[in-house]
Structure 1
Amino acid sequence: MKEGLRKVLVIDDEASIRKLLRVSLEANGYDVVEAVNGREGLVETASQRPDLLLLDLGLPDMTGLAVLSEVRSWSQVPVIVLTVQDSDQDKISALDGGADDYVTKPFSVPELLVRMRVALRHAGQSLQEKSELISGPVRVDVPGHTVTVNGELVKLTVTEFNILKVLIKNKGKVVTHRMLLNEVWGPNSVEHTHYLRVYVGGLRKKLHVREDLPEIIATEAGVGYRLLDL
C-alpha cells in the first residue's frame, strides 16, 4: 500500500472498467487494488483490508450480492455497488443487504468520487452515539426531540421526526423504502410505500423553510430517499 493513501478494492470482471477506475482513482489520491471475480475479491478483501470496495453486481463466478453478503458477515467496510441501468431491484437488494451506496453504469467519475467521500466519511463517524445530528442547515436534537432549520424551530409529528432521524443518521446514503418502513413502522409495514410518500412529502415542506435553502431530501426513483450531505 502507498503510505497514507486510502485503499480501494475494485471487484469487476471488465478490464476497461478496472482501467478507468484505476487511472481516475489514482489521479485523485487513492491506492487501487483489483480483483476480476467474486472469489478473488473476497480473498483480497480479507488480505488487503481496503478502506472501501467498489463492487460490480454482475460477476462471472458468483453474484455481487453473494460477495456483499459474505463480506458483511465479518466486515463493515464501506461498499459501493456498480449496477447497470434500469436495475432498481438489484439496487434495492444491494442496499438492503448492507451496501452503502450505488452508482449506475455508465457512471460519472466525479459523482463516484463524491459517493466515495461520503461513504468513507460516514464509516469514520459514530452517529448513533451523538445526541445532535447535523446536515447543513438541519439540526436534530435526538433526546430533546426537536428540529431546527437554519436556526428556526420546525415542528414535526412523531412519525416525521422518526423518518428524519433515520435519514440524517444515514445522510448522503440511500435509504430504501423497506429500510425506512421497517425502522419507523416495523417489519409488518415494509410493503406500505404509500405511507412514505405522504409523510416524506410533508417533511419536505416543513424542512424547506426558506426559498434560498435547497431541498434536502432527494428521491431515488424506485429505490428510496437520500438526505443530502450538505
Structure 2
Amino acid sequence: MGSYSKKSSAEWIIDQLNVENAKLLAFFLVIGFIGHHGVLHLKYGSDSCTWLLTAGRYKGDHEWQPYGCMLHKYSKTDARRCFRYLAFWGKYNSFAFIGDSRLEQLYEYFISKQRSDQPPSVIIASTGLQLLKTRNTTDLVLEEYKRNLTHLVQAIDSLAARKTQVLWKLIEGVDVNKLQNDYKRINNNDIDSYNRAAVEVSNLFI
C-alpha cells in the first residue's frame, strides 16, 4: 500500500490558483471597492473633487494630496490637448486671473482659451503680496484689507449669477531663508494673518 504524502502549503496554494477561484476573488474585490466608495459618497457627497481644497494631506515630498481624487501636473501639451478635446465637443471654458505677481506667475504657466462674448467660467483671484512687502501687518492694515475685499462682493455676486465660479487663492507660505531684498520683511505669521482675513471675508461670497 503506497504511502500518502501531505501537500505542503505552497502546493496547496498552487492548487487553489484556478479560473473559478480567480473569478471569485475578483468578484469580492469589486464588491469591496463598490462598498468602500459607496460609504465615501454617502458620507462626503458624490463629487469627490469638492475635496480638492478642503480635505487631504501633504505627502512626503510636501505635495498636497486631496482625498478622493488625484492631482495631475499638466504640461503645456497636456493643457492644449485637454482644451482641444473640450472644444471638439462644443464645450468652452475661459479663465481670468486677478491678483499680484504670484497670480501673474500662475497665469504665465496656464494655457487658456478665451471667448470675448462670454464672461469667464472661472476667476482665480488673490492679493496681499505687495502689502506684505511695503506695510507693517497691524490690526488697522488688516481691517483696511478686509474692507477692500468686501468691495468685491457685489461684483462677484453679479458674476455668479452668470455662472462664473470665483476661486480665492490664499497667499502661500515662504521659506524666509531664501527671501531677498524687499521680500526679507515677509514672514509666515503675517501671511497667516492676511489669509485669515481673506477667509473671513470669503464667507460673504457664499
How high is the TM-score relative to the length of structure 1? 0.28
**TM-score w.r.t. structure 2 length?**
0.30
Q: Which of the two has higher C-alpha Rg?
A: 2
Greater helix percent: which structure?
2
